[in-house]
Amino acid sequence: MNPSPTRFAALTQTQLENWVGQARVYALTGRLPDYIPLLAQAEAQRVAVAIRSLDGHGYFAGERDQPFALMSVVKPLLLLFLLETSGWDAVFDRVGIDPSEQSFHSLAQLNVDRGFPRNPMLNSGAIALAAMLPGAKGADRCEALRVWLNQASGSRFVLDQAMLASVRSLRNEANRAIAEVLLRAESIDHVETALDTYNHICCLSGTAADLAQVGLLLAQPNAPTQPVHQRAVNALMLTCGLYEASGRFAVRIGLPTKSGVSGALLSIVPGQGAIACYSPTLDATGNSIAGLFLLEQLTQTLNLSVFG
């Protein structure tokens, strides 16, 4: 059976390359994060975009072989894995489903919520969920997630050891304070292991093609993942994936989207495919400037919004 063409079929290579060219200019208006030394050294004008469509096509432009760490883009993937392996109740006993107006590493939000993370797209939620991964140590737990992601999707994520060393080289007081509140609320049972696991999974790394590929787990009706889990992850990406800017981009882009502080961005186009962008400079919220620009061009031109 030949799957019917998707909305991406209208895309031309010239169009995609033109947008990447414009995106490189926008990238200069953003800032590199300064709290992870290797991310601070990234080349500001690197831009990559990869699209995988459900009819089996791939569309690529920019530095397609450039690997990058997923950072917070791992959060929806962690959530999907745990929903599939531990089940709905175990996951949502540990983390909420409501959006937050606070930044991704907000301790104030966690304190207001008495140690119950508001959603899985915040650091607090992901640190609490990372503690559910099977295995004794951060490295084993990360490996369990990595192997599952690669087997389920055919992507080829690896652990970026240099990035992990860089993450560890500066103490992240915000994440540590979050983990201590989680410990007191009995959401995690060990601060060091939970942080170490979280740091490991943030350093899973791949190309834009790998990221788009894994996105198909959330886009296709007969993926190896359960539709009810896909729906939950997509809804949380739409409402919480771009942190406090999520509402605005739900209107402007209209796709479940998750960003990471490395400049990674993943958007799901349910029933059509997945889009991955990479460009390391960020806006004030911590979202990739050029990545969001590319997504806006794609969604508006190809009419990709889930809201029609």
Contacting positions for ligand GLN (CB under 6 A) = 71-72, 104-105, 123, 175, 202, 260-261, 286
Q: Is 112 annotated as a binding residue?
A: no
- Smallest gap from Cβ 274 to ligand GLN, in A, equals 19
- Smallest gap from Cβ 261 to ligand GLN, in A, equals 3
Q: Is 72 annotated as a binding residue?
A: yes
Q: Is 198 annotated as a binding residue?
A: yes
Nearer to ligand GLN among residue 32 and residue 223 (C-beta): 32
Nearer to ligand GLN among residue 245 and residue 306 (C-beta): 245
Q: Is 25 annotated as a binding residue?
A: no
Q: Is 103 annotated as a binding residue?
A: no
Q: Is 123 annotated as a binding residue?
A: yes
Nearer to ligand GLN among residue 202 and residue 302 (C-beta): 202
Q: Measured at CB, which residue is nearest to ligand GLN?
A: 72
- Smallest gap from Cβ 105 to ligand GLN, in A, equals 6
- Smallest gap from Cβ 133 to ligand GLN, in A, equals 16
Residue type at position 134: P
Which residues does 112 contact at the CB level (< 8 Å), separation at least 6?
A: none
Nearer to ligand GLN among residue 144 and residue 174 (C-beta): 174
Count, residues in the chain: 308
Nearer to ligand GLN among residue 54 and residue 242 (C-beta): 242
Burial of 169 (0-12, 13-18, 19+ CB in 10 A): exposed
Name the strands in the sheet holding 158-159, side by side, starting at the edge strand that comes first in the sequence.
68-69, 204-206, 158-159
Nearer to ligand GLN among residue 260 and residue 270 (C-beta): 260
- Smallest gap from Cβ 298 to ligand GLN, in A, equals 22
Name the strands in the sheet holding 264-269, side by side, starting at the edge strand that comes first in the sequence.
58-62, 48-53, 273-278, 264-269, 257-259
Query: Closest by alpha carbon to 160, among 206, 120, 122?
Result: 206
- Smallest gap from Cβ 232 to ligand GLN, in A, equals 21
DSSP string across 266-290:
EEEETTTEEEEEE---B-TTS-BHH
Alpha helix locations (H) across the chain?
13-27, 37-40, 74-86, 88-92, 107-112, 123-130, 138-153, 161-169, 173-184, 191-202, 208-219, 227-240, 246-252, 289-302
Query: Closest by alpha carbon to 175, among 245, 106, 112?
Result: 106
Per the annotation, binding residues for substrate are 72, 123, 175, 198, 243, 261
Binding site members: 72, 123, 175, 198, 243, 261
